[in-house]
Structure 1
Amino acid sequence: MYTTKSRFKSCNYDVNQTISWNMLSHCQSEEILMTALELLERSGAEVASKKARDVFAKNGCWVDGEMVRFPSAKIEWALRASPSRLTVCGQNGARAMLLETENVHFGLGGGAEYVVDRASGEPRHIVLQDVADAARLADRLGNVEFVTFPGLPSDKPEKTAALHALGTVLKYTAKPVVMPVCCAKMAEAAVAMAALAAGGIEKLQQNPRIILRVECAEPRLHSENALEAVIYAAENRIPFIYDNELAAGYTAPASTAGTLVLALANTLVAVLLAQLVSEGTPVIAGGRLTVADEKNCMLPYGAPEAGLLSAGFANLMRYLRVPSMCVGGITDAAASDSQAGVELAIGLLSASLAGANMIVGGGMLESGKQYSHATLAMSDESMSLMYRIMRSFEVDEDRLACGVYDTVEPGGSYLGEEHTGLFFKSEQFWPSLFTRKRISDWMADGGKSLGQRAAEYAESVLTQPEAFTVDESIAAAIADVAAKADKAF
């Protein structure tokens, strides 16, 4: 057998340190990019913001009414100018998330209308206390790395409910925060609140803790409010997600490749605008992509096609060297049951292996319409399993165990070996909520399902004192921004 290994080293030694899913080849990614570039140059997109159209016209794009066509060279420049990596920080300024290459970070989902009540287990409308509970739980869960609010609190004014929710999240978690904004005015208020928590706008820019999320829910149609929020973020050097919400066969072509072309075309418009306003603005490409279930009149984020679309989108962004956010861990089930466990695990695995830098969806039931503390705890446990798979295993002199084999007789046990003591904890996944008990022991403990154990665990966390609270003077100043917005909006 021919080998390149010498006494001292291996020649051109390749290491597969992290498992990854290369769904798209380099050539396939290039073909999707070329198609999107041709689409934007030939047909363009509708740009509803005059301010954005003026920026495009001034920089060599072709404007005809609200339709704008984009020279490919401009977009290729913007892709080079847009940062390929972004470091996001926690409350203390410490590096919390490195959005680069295949790094994966998991966080809470958002956009729900209902919450599963802690006491009754029945769904009801979300109130501000539920936002506080979700932030406190997420702050305690070790695999939840960024936080948003699960839904708009119904006990606050509709136009400013998101700002009240943001203030609550900033009060009860030290982790990075994703803030959905519907316009530049809301983005400005959100950044003001985050700057108070960070100690000033300059500190927030240097150590970004907040990421604005701007929604793009229409194919090749960019709303005035969305684009002016992008302009605000770029002018103030605040990272933002341009979040495509497309459904294959409904708001996008029925084919996966066609949906990816359209999602990429939408994303490229935002990337170009941000770089034209301020070169180097951090942009995260968001993909909330799924299919349309016409039978049930809903968008199923637990569907396998949603996982394929997320994986394809993340692969495409890796090819373009643009940080990405995808959906993972949202289930179509209405309760924290077996279906929920299967769907959230498959969704998380697809997005993780594809290298999505941010995976959003923790705690979401019924395709994102309900939020559940128990489901968030289940998602956290599932994500710890994903991280173990992603970590794979190392091959080095110690782990090859070369000095161990001769000390154990054929047919013997390695249990008592020093080598086993060194590695058994780090090499194995040790569950917290999942059970490996024999059925007799499981029955003796009450025979509880995963959903029941997760609900009890979440309740035990929420009955403990807060792990983090922001200084009361800062919390009051943040609340004052939301109160002023109540009058101004």
Structure 2
Amino acid sequence: MAGGQYNPLSETAVNRIHQAALAALSEIGLANAPASGIAAMTAVGAIMGTDGRIRFPAALIEDTIARANRSVTLCGRDPRHDLELSGSRVHYGTAGAAVHMVDVHTREYRESTVQDLHDAARIADQLDNIHFVQRPMVCRDIPDNREMDLNTVYACCAGTTKHVGTSFTEAAFARDAIEMLHVMAGGEDAWRARPFVSNSNCFVVPPMKFATESCEVMETCIRGGMPILLLSAGQAGATAPASIAGAIVQAVAECLAGLVYVNAIAPGHPAIFGTWPFVSDLRTGAMSGGSGEQALLTAGCAQMHRFYALPGGAAAGIADSKLPDMQAGWEQMCSNVMAGLSGLNMVYEAAGMHASLLGFCHESLILGDDLIGQALRCLKGIEVSEDSVSLDVIRATCLDGPGHYLGSDQTLALMQTDYVYPTLGDRTSPKEWIERDRPDLLTRATEMKERILSSRSAARFDALTDAEIRKRFAIHLPQ
């Protein structure tokens, strides 16, 4: 569904941010690029300074933007889940690196496991308004980083046939994962034709420094045919300027540098412009993902993506609240709606995230699907046409009809096209609510979770493929 109705930045402001980003790249540049990256970027026109910082002339940036891939398709294992990233088309999904699971009934936090991750993918697979599954939590029960990276890929792909996003600790682990993906896809050619996993890559350490190991991972993934999310995640007031405009400038500058990097290695490679600046609560310095400022940051970044006509993603839907309560509801809805209305192609972390990304909750993921359904209805907007202004319907109802619209043909038709109904949200009267034994939202979400998880994932691999994967890699999930 297309957004883009909301523009928090004026045309003058957009151009000022763009010019500031160009100045930051040409005058300040980025430090700590790996030797391979320096070689690739200087070969296309970047300038390596004697101070160890690589700078980017404005002409190089403009040329890269013009040549970059402007429409990216993120494939699902099932083609019906393919995502077209172009213009202001909006998709919502999970993301993050939570280290805890939220138990809504005991109100406790515990370390997340590979089984929790697999279950999250299985649940997301069944939710209509969750369009992709980027790894939302860390497998804390797998201490070996290589095994954790490989099991993250396996747990997600065995749980959903939607597009999956993940990260890798080292380049060697990314190579191993790509080998595993060849097995899942049925061969390298099949994988390269339809890569159903993308690399979420924190290629920078804000402010304005490349992350050497992540850049090496990125190069490996590019050569392996994997789409790249160029993720710049500065924190306003800490690792990015405290002003919302300044945080956007830095994120845009860092991602433009990343775009040069990607296209220097493989021109036109599918890359997502991942400006993910976060907000600090300046009273404490702690991250505040559920704030109005976060919603504005994300919406402003989405507008810059549209200015460049580049596929982009950013974070929304994060709750600072520790539980799926009223605070979580207002925090998640505010940024999710603004992200969608601003035309953000990929709305990451849109459901399930609590405690400023430290906790993930299966029930909250399910409730988030309802919430995002309402956000998508806001995106659809108001149709104004000869039929929808309803003058003939008003005339017939008031002059010749019953004086109400409950049974009109228009009402019955629009029930299924213009109105969205929550799956779990309760709209009954107090009397009916009591008659139904006072249904509780979290209890209903838990019941739905248990119903989904009571049967084996439909995304599981066939026996021969699974056996081949398990023979070559240490898979921790039970068969």
Report the TM-score, using the length of structure 2 for normalisation.
0.92
Distance 2:377 2:156 in 1: 29
Contact 1:18 1:392 in 2 (8 A): no
Kindly indicate whether the alpha-carbon contact (under 8 Å) linking 1:167 and 1:475 is maintained by their aligned counterparts in 2. no
**Aligned equivalent of 2:127, options 137, 141, 144:** 141
Deviations 1:82-123 (A, max 9, x none): 111111121133452111111111111320011124875532
Worse overlay, 46-55 or 284-293 = 284-293
Q: Secondary structure at the match of 1:107?
A: strand
Q: Residues 104 and 442 of structure 2 are in contact (CA less than 8 Å); yes or no, is this contact kept in structure 1?
A: no
Structure 2: which amino acid aligns with 1:64?
A: G
Q: Which residue number corresponds to residue 371 of structure 1?
A: 360
Deviations along 1:365-391, whole A, 9 cap, x unmatched?
111111101110111110000111111
**Which one of 245, 262, 277 corresponds to residue 289 of structure 1?**
277
Paired residue for 1:385?
374
TM superposition shift of 1:460: 2.6
* Alpha-carbon distance between aligned partners in 2 of 1:404 and 1:262, rounded to the nearest angstrom: 53
Q: What SS is found at the alignment partner of 1:177?
A: strand
Give the equivalent residue in structure 1 for 2:182. 195
The amino acid that maps onto 2:211 is S
Q: Which residue of 2 aligns with 1:246?
A: 234
Equivalent residue letter for 1:442: W
Aligned to 1:159: 145
Match for residue 342 of structure 2?
Answer: 354
Q: Tell me the amino acid that sits aligned with residue 409 of structure 1.
A: C
**Change in CA separation of 1:379 and 1:62 when aligned onto 2, cut-off 3 Å:** same
Q: Are the counterparts in 1 of residues 234 and 277 from structure 2 also a CA contact under 8 Å?
A: yes
Q: Identity of counterpart residues, as a percentage?
A: 28
Q: Is the 8 A contact 2:34 2:215 kept in 1?
A: yes
Preserved CA contact (<8 Å) 1:19 1:389: no
1:125 is matched with 111
Unaligned runs of 5+ in 2: none
Cross-structure match for 1:35? 20
Aligned partner of 1:186 among 169, 173, 181:
173
Q: Determine whether 1:73 maps to 2:59.
A: yes
Contact 1:47/1:53, CA 8 A, preserved across alignment: no
- 1:265 maps to 253
Shift in Å at residue 150 of structure 1?
A: 2.6
- Rounded Cα–Cα distance in structure 2 between residues aligned with 1:242 and 1:409: 58
Counterpart residue type for residue 145 of structure 2: K
Structure 1 position 415, deviation (Å): 2.3
Residue correspondence of structure 1 range 424-435 to structure 2 within 5 A: 424-435=415-426
Partners of 1:202 and 1:32 in 2: CA distance: 42
CA deviations on 1:335-357 (whole Å, 9 max, x unpaired) are 11111111111121121111111
Aligned mates of 2:293, 2:153 — CA distance in 1: 32
Matching residue's letter, 1:434: G
Q: Which residue of 2 aligns with 1:420?
A: 411
Q: TM-score, normalised by structure 1?
A: 0.90
Count how many residue pairs are aligned between Structure 1 and Structure 2.
470
Residue by residue, what CA displacement relative to the aligned partner does 1:7-33 show, whole Å, maximum 9, x if unpaired? xxxxxxxxx985621112333222211
User: Is this contact kept in 2: 1:118–1:459, CA < 8 A?
Assistant: no
State how far apart, in whole Å, the 2-side matches of 1:484 and 1:90 are.
22
Residue 52 of structure 1 deviates from its aligned partner by: 0.6
Structure 1 contact 197–474 (Cα < 8 Å) conserved: yes
Q: What is the CA distance between 1:166 and its match in structure 2?
A: 1.2
Alpha-carbon spacing, 1:482–1:24, altered in 2? closer, same or farther (3 Å): farther
Matched, 1:442 2:433: yes
* Aligned alpha-carbon RMSD (Å): 2.3
SS of residue matched to 1:222 = coil
- SS class of match (2:221): helix
Are 1:105 and 2:94 matched, yes or no? no
Gaps of 5+ in 1: 1-15
